[in-house]
Structure 1
Amino acid sequence: MPKNKAARKLGGVLLGAFLLSLILATPSVGKDGRLSPEELPPIEGLPDPFLMDSGKRVQSVEDWNQRREEIKDLLLDYEYGHIPPPPGDMRAEETESMDLFGGKATLKRILLSFGENQEIQMNVGIYLPKEQSEPRPVIFLNDMVWYEHLRPLAERILDEGFIFAGFDRHDLDRDDKDRSDGVHPLYPDYDWGTLAVWAWGCMRVVDYLVTLDEVDSSKIALTGHSRAGKVALLAGGMDDRIAMVVPNGSGAGGAGSFKIEEKGVETLELITQPERFQYWFQKDLRDFVGHEDRLPFDQHFLKALVAPRLLLSTDALGDQWANPLGTQQTHRAAQPVFDFLGVPDHNAIHFREGGHDMLKPDWDALLDFAGHHFLGRPLGEDYKEVPFPDVPLELNWKRP
């Protein structure tokens, strides 16, 4: 497993917080090189994304670029587990092709394979227009897009000027505790949870998309719902080739918050229960149950990694399990990073009425936002309205 970078650097953060002596007084470190919750200081409010591991605060774009890498290390070390490098040796084999929508488009099924022996395999689907004069932006849903119930959506996406693509993330991890299948036997030294496996899979699909003449490789939007929304945000934070990130109903481990949790939300304690979804994460994240104030990050750190690219978080007011208030507050806490980088409008949020699903209003918002930023169309709304404007967010830090 890669050496834990965040644990090595956390001493600088603690120095900046005048707590280095507390850490040095305890020579041991936590499991696998991570500092344990007991060895980390409690943090009042949401942590400062601008505080570098050296103890100084970000003052320039160059500083921020360094800080981004530190945040990546922190999130992978403590929350998601480590992600292997690209396996290389990509091959794409077309396994099926069918004309759809009265001959306007073709749905192609592709078997992607990677690695020296092509042992990593993924099923991809992509809808392409029959007549296309120039490369198009892509709406990439990290799910199986070839099923018939998604055909009306696919037709709409193509009619609005995009390509629609997706893949079967379960080819890599079946979404269970078993680590004897999927890609796990190929990477036995990696501590990645299922969310990181799937995010890595999204990056491999991007490897393929950027090779296509039909695709504008500078305009790839990645989305997903619920657990796939968590995956979209993680992949988007880690891969700069993804120009727009749209997590929908992603909640805990996604656009929500581990530190701001009202009654009825999925908490860190609930989501990391061994009988539920501990396997989605780096296994020791559960050690922070009851010590959430000692987490050296919250999900606004992951949102900040998307900047200066485009982020649109879509959620539902009735989806209490996904923590609407926490989602609002991490949106607000990420905003200073977008402001610092000169792109305040690139951090967007949209709430609708209703519950846990990805419905037409969610897609309306996604296509409106993508249509504006990718195709130059007028924007239907400003995507800045939050559902709980009277709830304050008190930050103990400010943007540089």
Structure 2
Amino acid sequence: MKKLTLFLGILLSFHFCYAQQFEFTPNYDESKVPQFKITNPLISFNGRKIKNTKRWEKVRRPELLNFFANNVYGKVPGELEISKWEVVEENANALNGKAHRKQVDIVFNKDGKTLFFNILMYLPNNKEKAPLFLGYNFYGNHAVCQDVKIRIPDTWARNNESYGISNNQFTEKSRGVRKDSWQVEKIIDSGYGLATIYYGEIDPDNNDFYNGIHPFFYVDGQQRPAANEWGAIAAWAWGLSRAMDYLEQDSDVDATKVIVFGHSRLGKTALWAGATDERFAGVISNNSGCGGAALSKRQYGETVGRINNAFPHWFARNFISYNKNEKALPIDQHGLLALIAPRPLYVASAEDDRWADPRGEFLAAYYATSVYELYGKKGIPSEEMPQVNQPLINTVAYHIRTGGHDVTAFDWEQYIKWADEQVVKNF
């Protein structure tokens, strides 16, 4: 009897997993994209037309921000200021004398709990105050550059044998493994600084809610965020804002020219950080896909149901109500992109990254353009996508390049050019 029960349990488990896999099988056929209506970002939920920036800022922007906060990413349930910060290492002759390297600990204390994250910074030595790219990394600060002085995080890490990560711990083997994706010297040579943080120091990327920033806000025995409270993406966005708190008082940084950058799930994070914190002068979304720049209602590549099933900790639990129900969304991701207006926005895709739906990312930028035009800013002029490797550089910029889900030297070349034209000179 026990053997039969065990067999039936295994069979049911297999059937459930197979059913879930079948249920969320990605669509890569444009002819199977469902018919859907694009919600006008300039018409409020009660049908009022938004005809000027004053009404956008007073009526439409707040209601869109509130919708995404309550139903997609989750609300931050309180405030917590930096308890202290400390420069734990610096060198004014890094990168063969080109840069000033700093490693800064940002510390938070509350009710006997302590959390800290470390900001790795490279600043060009030929500028008194540098504009800056700020972004999270996936594999530790030490992975972005072949620099033996960068500290190795001791926080939980997702195992990756090819990068020398085992037993959920970083090792010396992972030093510099992602340097090609960060192009530190290219950034420095272009007159920009770089600040990066290992995202797992704010909230480890696993579904437990016990060992990151979330418990600092729990009340009355709470063990996970409420249905409308922050998931991991909102927590990571919160961390970027706390990094901005520090950067505003760093005399080596031009805090009016900080551009928040992110790739993949961290591209989703950069968009939400840019929407919620208007201090960021520009926002870059690299291959951010579902829950990022891509239109959810297209149901192409990764879908709302698939992402909530695979990564239930990333979003607010309220977002589950749109699993296989994208048509019920009162606004799509173009509404998120519109929240960044009038600040410069760059959305980037890759030709082989169909999972992230490049066309859906492009269309979201196109449909957000009407809000930018209220401010006299130029966005995406038509629904026709640009050719591969032919960037469209305006206040709202877009490119699709050859290759797959990654950040490349080509991407950084475009981001720097766009930052020169749209953030540093014109904004």
Letter in 2 for 1:51: I
Q: Equivalent of 2:50, from 55, 58, 61?
A: 58
Is contact 2:123-2:130 (8 Å) kept?
Answer: no
**C-alpha RMSD of the superposition:** 2.0
In structure 2, distance between residues paired with 1:367 and 1:85: 35
Equivalenced residue count is: 330
Q: 1:78, CA displacement in angstroms?
A: 0.6
Worse-superposed segment, 226-235 or 180-189:
180-189
Q: Equivalent of 2:265, from 227, 236, 242?
A: 227
- When the two structures are superposed, what TM-score results if normalisation uses the length of structure 2? 0.73
1:241 equivalent in alignment to 2:260: no
Q: 1:128 matched to which residue of 2? A: 123
Is contact 1:317-1:324 (8 Å) kept?
Answer: yes
In structure 1, distance between residues paired with 2:306 and 2:352: 19
In structure 2, distance between residues paired with 1:57 and 1:375: 33
Alignment of 1:1-400 (within 5 A): 44-66=36-58, 67-98=60-91, 99-115=93-109, 119-132=114-127, 134-143=128-137, 144-147=140-143, 148=146, 149=176, 150=179, 153-188=183-218, 190=225, 191-262=229-300, 265-273=301-309, 276-344=310-378, 345-376=394-425
Q: 2:163 matched to which residue of 1? A: none
Structure 1: segments with no counterpart, 5+ residues: 1-42, 378-400
In structure 2, distance between residues paired with 1:59 and 1:346: 20
1:161-185: CA deviation from partner (whole Å, max 9, x where unpaired): 1111011221121111111111111
In structure 2, distance between residues paired with 1:199 and 1:230: 9
- When the two structures are superposed, what TM-score results if normalisation uses the length of structure 1? 0.78
Change (3 A) 1:84 1:203: farther
Letter in 2 for 1:270: R
Is contact 1:91-1:114 (8 Å) kept?
Answer: yes
Q: 1:83, CA displacement in angstroms?
A: 1.8
Is contact 1:137-1:374 (8 Å) kept?
Answer: no
Aligned-residue identity in percent = 32
Letter in 2 for 1:363: W
Is contact 1:319-1:356 (8 Å) kept?
Answer: yes
In structure 2, distance between residues paired with 1:64 and 1:146: 42
Q: 1:387 matched to which residue of 2? A: none
1:132-171: CA deviation from partner (whole Å, max 9, x where unpaired): 3x31100112224443233882122111111110112211
Q: List 4+ stretches of structure 1 deviating above 6 A.
A: none
Structure 2: segments with no counterpart, 5+ residues: 1-34, 147-175, 220-224, 379-393
Change (3 A) 1:145 1:368: farther
Is contact 2:351-2:358 (8 Å) kept?
Answer: yes
Change (3 A) 1:261 1:137: same
Change (3 A) 1:295 1:54: closer
Q: Secondary structure at the match of 1:259?
A: helix
In structure 1, distance between residues paired with 2:103 and 2:64: 36
Q: 1:120, CA displacement in angstroms?
A: 3.4
In structure 2, distance between residues paired with 1:227 and 1:267: 14
Q: 1:114, CA displacement in angstroms?
A: 3.0
In structure 1, distance between residues paired with 2:313 and 2:353: 23
Letter in 1 for 2:408: L
Q: 1:201, CA displacement in angstroms?
A: 0.6
Worse-superposed segment, 320-329 or 123-132:
123-132
In structure 1, distance between residues paired with 2:194 and 2:133: 5
Q: Secondary structure at the match of 2:313?
A: helix
Q: 2:383 matched to which residue of 1? A: none
Q: Secondary structure at the match of 2:349?
A: strand
Q: Secondary structure at the match of 2:339?
A: helix
Q: Secondary structure at the match of 1:167?
A: strand
